[in-house]
Copies of this chain bind each other. A is one copy, B any other.
Amino acid sequence: MSVTVPAGFRASGVTAGLKASGKPDLALVVNDGPLAVAAAVYTSNRCVAHPVRWSREVTADGSVRAVVLNSGGANCYTGPDGYATTAATAARVGAGVGCPATDIVVCSTGLIGDLLDREKLAAGVDAAVAALSGDGGRAAAEAIMTTDTHPKTVVRTAPGGWSVAGMAKGAGMLAPGLATMLVVLTTDADVDAATCAAALRAATRTTFDRLDSDGCMSTNDTVLLMASGAAGVTPAAAEFAEAVRAVCHDLTMLLLSDAEGSEHDITITVRGAASEDDAVEVGRAVARSNLFKCAVFGRDPNWGRILAAAGTTGAAFDPDAIDVAMNGVWICRGGQPGESRDLVDLTPRQVEVTVDLHAGAETATVWTNDLTHAYVHENSAYST
């Protein structure tokens, strides 16, 4: 169900023929109102795909009627023809649901540098419009998958009779600068565009934006929140923001656990930082250390690689004061060996790393995965 759980939304997922596998590859989510409120965040990559260029314009006024998403091709670095394909897709959806093309967000995912087949897309859009239904959320979530092994959906129902739901795709190129991947959130709360935008910005800042699976920032990342107002309930702004954050957090965890080739989900919490930015910088440096990620894959509690990564940052700390724990064992105290590394069990999928900088009171958490043979295999063979 996912994105169609909140009242006022219909969705569908169909096979347009963009994927060689013949699996579903085109999803549509329509907001039937009464409101058509929306907010979005996009990748901060400067080399972005055409759907991002298009959709940034669409969402600027805080109003969106529908979002169409295709897998089977990112429509990125495809030149003016690629942009025309995105515009034509939006127009086709607009004609189908009865609104201007400029109220349609477009998302694409898949291989970079290949043109999409515009005729297949058009026929797929028509099929998706015809298939729209109040329980099409699951089909939509399936149609946006690429290397994902399962559809990713989350629903949070509030006591007051409204809800927030979301679907996401993403398994590689997971390292946002702002948002990440393709994510569609729906709510039937009666909220305005400013409330949506504030809630979404705040939510993505501490969820998707701190997932750094492989250090590679996507060209197509989009997170879209659409509000229908169909529940007729206006929650307090803080309550609404927390619901959006919770859904984003749960989707982030789904992305983490399905990252390409991963065998471990690694939670890196940096505490005792002089600032939240410092904590994030250190966490991200550790998350991007290939040597650390290989060590976790090998079930090796190699804390020296954590300190070596921290040392590349500009964060405030004394190298001789750092403590590091893995799965609760403080294997580094004051920048030198602490408890025995033999006490650390890295067999479970969940790995908790805690770095205490002893430089302040701020904290932040960054999530990443290990670097495995399967990751190398999947990403050396992706386009061939």
A295 in the interface (beta carbon within 8 A): yes
A193 in the interface (beta carbon within 8 A): no
What 1/0 flags go to A291-329 for Cβ under 8 Å of B?
100110111101111011111110000010010000000
Q: Are B291 and A335 in contact (CB under 8 A)?
A: no
What 1/0 flags go to A269-303 for Cβ under 8 Å of B?
00000000000000000001111001101111011
Query: Contacts A78-B337, A295-B379, A319-B48 given: A308-B216 contact, CB under 8 Å?
Result: yes
Q: Which residues on the B side are within 8 Å of A79 (C-beta)? A: 334-337
CA distance A320 to B232 in the complex (A): 45
Q: Which residues on the B side are within 8 Å of A322 (C-beta)? A: 47
**Could you say which of A17-25, A96-104, A369-377 contacts chain B?**
A369-377
Q: Are B216 and A295 in contact (CB under 8 A)?
A: no
Q: How close is A321's CB to chain B, nearest CB, in angstroms?
A: 11
Residues of chain A in range 205-264 having any CB-CB distance to chain B below 8 Å = 214-219
Q: Are A294 and B336 in contact (CB under 8 A)?
A: no
Q: Are B380 and A311 in contact (CB under 8 A)?
A: no
Nearest to A302 among chain B residues (CB) is B383
Query: Contacts A46-B319, A335-B77, A337-B77 given: A309-B216 contact, CB under 8 Å?
Result: yes
Residues of chain A in range 135-157 having any CB-CB distance to chain B below 8 Å = none
Query: Contacts A304-B113, A305-B112 given: A216-B290 contact, CB under 8 Å?
Result: yes
Which size bracket describes the interface of A in this complex? Answer: 35 or more
A164 in the interface (beta carbon within 8 A): no
A332 in the interface (beta carbon within 8 A): yes
A177 in the interface (beta carbon within 8 A): yes
Query: Contacts A47-B307, A319-B47 given: A77-B336 contact, CB under 8 Å?
Result: yes
CB < 8 Å neighbour of A172 from B76, B291, B309, B379? B291
What 1/0 flags go to A187-219 for Cβ under 8 Å of B?
000000000000000000000000000111111
Residues of chain A in range 325-384 having any CB-CB distance to chain B below 8 Å = 332, 334-337, 371-373, 375-377, 379-384
A131 in the interface (beta carbon within 8 A): no
Q: Which residues on the B side are within 8 Å of A332 (C-beta)? A: 77, 113
9 A-B pairs closest in CB distance: A112-B304, A298-B380, A47-B311, A79-B336, A294-B379, A45-B311, A46-B311, A47-B319, A113-B304
Q: Which of A's residues lie within 8 Å of B, judged by CB?
A: 45-48, 74, 76-79, 82, 111-114, 172-173, 177, 214-219, 288-291, 294-295, 297-300, 302-305, 307-313, 319, 322, 332, 334-337, 371-373, 375-377, 379-384
